[in-house]
Amino acid sequence: MLLLVTACLLIGLVSGHYGWSLAIGLGLYLAWTLKQLLRLHQWLKNHQPDEAPPDGRGLWGDVFDSIYHLQRRDQRVRGRLQAVIDRVQESTAALKDAVIMLDSDGNLEWWNRAAETLLGLKTPQDSGQPVTNLVRHPRFKEYFENENYAEPLEIPSPINDHLRVQLLITRYGNNEHLMLVRDVTRIHQLEQMRKDFVANVSHELRTPLTVISGYLETLLDNVEEVNPRWVRALKQMHQQGGRMQTLLNDLLLLAKLEATDYPSDSQPVAVPTLLQSIKSDAKALSGQRNHQIILEADDSLRLKGSEGELRSAFSNLVFNAVKYTPDEGQVRIRWWSDSQGAHLSVQDSGIGIDPKHLPRLTERFYRVDSSRASNTGGTGLGLAIVKHVLLRHRATLEISSVPGQGSTFTCHFPPAQRVSSSRPAEPTTAKPLGK
């Protein structure tokens, strides 16, 4: 530019027409600039992905060079990113577990090869399809729509009933879902074997035990014919035989509860009447210990489910409250409903439980104090039964306790599980399961 202006001024000096020579010079420069701009425009519009920008001189040459360097750097970065994406895709494709990406509406976006073998997804036909259309198990639909993915879900594979898959959903980004699916057939089979073993052993032990208990009872009935040295031993054997029978019954009940996911019957259960009869049984259990048992129940509130199972669960809670509350103590049973659903709480003024035990309380055979538990005649399975029954009724158990002051066990049933009617409940006759 400086050269051009100097040249124009020199020509102006020679010819004496400064103005004209400057105007012609600047005009020429403008025309050249426009031409370069046009070349750049043409290149930007039509260039192939890897085509370099046009050559140029002066300022325009620098501009074209800078664009060229930017383009090369961009290509290198893109190449590196593509390599990373290829590696991620290759490794996820090689995974034995299925990885499925869903958009915020639950439609399929991307999946790896294992998703095809485990869930039968088809590439590319199924892309964009709602996942609930392809995995049609009712529990999956419920799990997916509830949007509570804290626990994984186990269901049979949609393409092969012998395959058992475990699904775990994680939300990320803009409410998109990442679904991981594992083949857990072997673990499921082992678990099944364990359940069958416990159920079979309990079942097989029941008959010999009934015979032994029967003979002991006959001997004790004719106690005068028995050598007095043996009476105490016989009484203890009879008592321990009784404990073993309760234990086997509880184990069999647990095995039965574990066999299916949901209760076999789902009838409206008259919970207030059920609680009334549990209260009478609790009074009988309390006997001379003279507990004060209070029942406050919403008479119109009924629950969908299995009456026998609910009786087992509720009576376990109420009997525990009686067992672990000192003489003359108070047990308060409440049955009510609110916007969150239906609730049953059993509150006692008993010995309470140290908070450190609470998370493990529903485990089988878990006892806070085993020496005390054996005195109460408990099996250590009561709360495990409660947990299973509640799980089958889509309910949860909440335990709160202050040592020395008492405990409250509350069952929370979701709104869908209750049946509200103004009609008084029918009298109930169901026996607790397995008893």
Binding site for ligand ADP (CB under 6 A): 316, 320-321, 324, 348, 350-351, 353, 361, 366-369, 373, 378-384, 407
Geometric angle at alpha carbon 341, from 340 and 345, rounded to 5°: 105
The 8-class DSSP code of residue 288 comes to: G
Q: Of the candidates 285, 344, 355, which has an alpha carbon nearest to the alpha carbon of residue 320?
A: 285
CB of 301 to ligand ADP, least distance (A): 23
Residue corresponding to tokens 């085993």 = 370
Long-range (24+ apart) CB contacts under 8 A made by 283-287 are 285/319, 285/322, 285/323, 286/322
How deeply is 88 buried, as exposed, middle or buried, from its count of CB atoms within 10 A (0-12, 13-18, 19+)?
A: exposed
CB of 378 to ligand ADP, least distance (A): 2
Nearest to 128 by CA among 107, 110, 149: 107
Query: What is the smallest separation between the CB atom of 110 and ligand ADP, expressed in angstroms?
Result: 46
**Distance, CA of 37 to CA of 176 (rounded, Å):** 45
- Smallest separation (angstroms) from ligand ADP to the CB of 368: 3
Q: Judged by CB, which is closer to ligand ADP: 131, or 253?
A: 253
CB of 385 to ligand ADP, least distance (A): 8
Give the burial string for 45-81 (b: 16+ CB within 10 Å, else e): eeeeeeeebbebeeebeeebeebeeebeeeeeeeeee
Nearer to ligand ADP by Cβ, of 89 and 370: the residue is: 370
Q: Which is nearer to ligand ADP, 408 or 428 (CB)?
A: 408
Q: Residue 93 gets which letter from DSSP?
A: H
Report the alpha-carbon distance of residue 170 to residue 104 in Å, rounded.
12
Under a CB-based contact definition with an 8 Å cutoff, are residues 388 and 257 in contact?
yes
Report the nearest approach of ligand ADP to the CB of residue 388 (Å): 11
The least CB distance from residue 312 to ligand ADP, in Å, is 11
80 vs 360, beta carbon nearer ligand ADP? 360
Element of type H or E holding 356: none
According to DSSP, residue 265 is labeled -
In the complex, minimum distance from the CB of residue 241 to ligand ADP, in angstroms, rounded to a whole number:
17
Based on CB atoms, which residue is closest to ligand ADP, 53 or 406?
A: 406
Cα dihedral 346/348/351/357 (nearest 10): 20
Alpha carbons 116 and 97: distance in angstroms, whole number? 11
CB of 332 to ligand ADP, least distance (A): 12
